[in-house]
């Protein structure tokens, strides 16, 4: 293992650990965001509000029909009870009875309409409630996947960190300090691989003599263009 290959291994471990850490942050954000469930819950609340309105309309329509029927009964009791014999009064009662019966029809039509609206509102509520249940189940399943993925990533980070400790044992303080110093400046890529005579980060063509130096691995050689350490693999 040359100086640069140890640094390259360190870099690759650091990058893997950083990526895993980044993904864990994303997962945490996803786990916190249950916006789909909240949306479905708001939909249920809205439909429930409508259902309550329709229920109270239905119950007042029902009440109106009952009280109209009671009035008709009273009218009939007077009309047919025999206590009223005056023809004018009986005629008035007869007219009142007809008018009460006509209005009862109107009220019964309203009640029928209210019953249909109530059926619809109940169905809408049941649908929204079932949808909420489904979304809750889906969200829990998705969350289970994410939680499992996060656990895997945490294990991987632990594994890579112990590998990192081992690699650090082969790196001099001087090389480590150089690596750490450049890490931020080069966004984690301090050591550039060389392929087919080129620096894979900036693409510069490397002279044959420089390639030989890089391959020997005795010294840390920097790219003349991007200034990274070069690693021949
Ligand atoms: Zn370069």
**What is the distance in A from the centroid of ligand 1 to the CA of 228?**
6
**What is the distance in A from the centroid of ligand 1 to the CA of 207?**
12
**What is the distance in A from the centroid of ligand 1 to the CA of 77?**
108
For residue range 150-160, list pLDDT tens digits in order. 999 999 999 99
**What is the distance in A from the centroid of ligand 1 to the CA of 4?**
15
For residue range 21-60, list pLDDT tens digits in order. 999 999 999 998 889 999 999 999 999 999 999 999 999 9
Residue 195's pLDDT band, with cuts at 50, 70 and 90, is very high
pLDDT(217) > 90: no
**What is the distance in A from the centroid of ligand 1 to the CA of 211?**
13
Domains of the chain: 34-168 (1.10.287), 173-231 (no CATH)
pLDDT of residue 1: 74
State how far Cα 233 lies from the chain centre. 44
**What is the distance in A from the centroid of ligand 1 to the CA of 192?**
7
Q: What are phi and psi of 231, to 5 degrees?
A: -130, 125
Q: Compute the C-alpha angle 29/24/179, nearest 5°.
A: 130
Integer Cα distance of 97 and 82 in angstroms: 16
Integer Cα distance of 141 and 198 in angstroms: 47
Cβ proximity of 200 and 194 under 8 Å: yes
pLDDT of residue 218: 81
For residue range 78-110, list pLDDT tens digits in order. 999 999 889 999 999 999 999 999 999 999 999
Q: What is the mean pLDDT of the chain?
A: 95
**What is the distance in A from the centroid of ligand 1 to the CA of 66?**
91
**What is the distance in A from the centroid of ligand 1 to the CA of 89?**
113
pLDDT of residue 151: 98
**What is the distance in A from the centroid of ligand 1 to the CA of 7?**
16
pLDDT of residue 34: 87
H/E segment holding residue 194: strand 191-195
Q: What is the pTM of this model?
A: 0.66
């Amino acid at each position: 293992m040359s100086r640069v290959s140890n640094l390259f291994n360190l870099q690759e471990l650091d990058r893997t650990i950083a990526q895993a850490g980044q993904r864990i942050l994303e997962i945490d954000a996803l786990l916190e965001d249950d916006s789909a469930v909240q949306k479905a819950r708001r939909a249920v609340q809205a439909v429930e509000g409508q259902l309550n309105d329709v229920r109270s309309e239905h119950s007042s329509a029902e009440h109106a029909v009952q009280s109209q029927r009671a009035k008709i009964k009273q009218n009939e009791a007077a009309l047919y009870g025999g206590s009223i014999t005056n023809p004018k009064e009986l005629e008035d009662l007869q007219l009142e009875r007809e008018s009460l019966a006509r209005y009862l029809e109107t009220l019964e039509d309203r009640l029928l309409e209210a019953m249909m609206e109530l059926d619809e509102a109940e169905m809408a509520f049941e649908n929204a409630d079932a949808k909420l249940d489904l979304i809750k189940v889906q969200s829990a399943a998705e969350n289970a996947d994410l939680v499992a993925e996060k656990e895997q990533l945490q294990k991987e980070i632990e594994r890579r960190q112990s590998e990192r400790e081992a690699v650090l044992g082969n790196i001099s303080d001087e090389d480590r300090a150089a690596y750490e110093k450049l890490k931020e400046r080069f966004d984690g890529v301090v050591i550039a691989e060389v392929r087919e005579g080129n620096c894979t980060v900036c693409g510069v063509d490397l002279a044959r003599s420089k390639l030989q130096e890089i391959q020997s691995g005795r010294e840390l050689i920097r790219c003349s263009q991007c200034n990274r350490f070069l690693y021949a693999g």
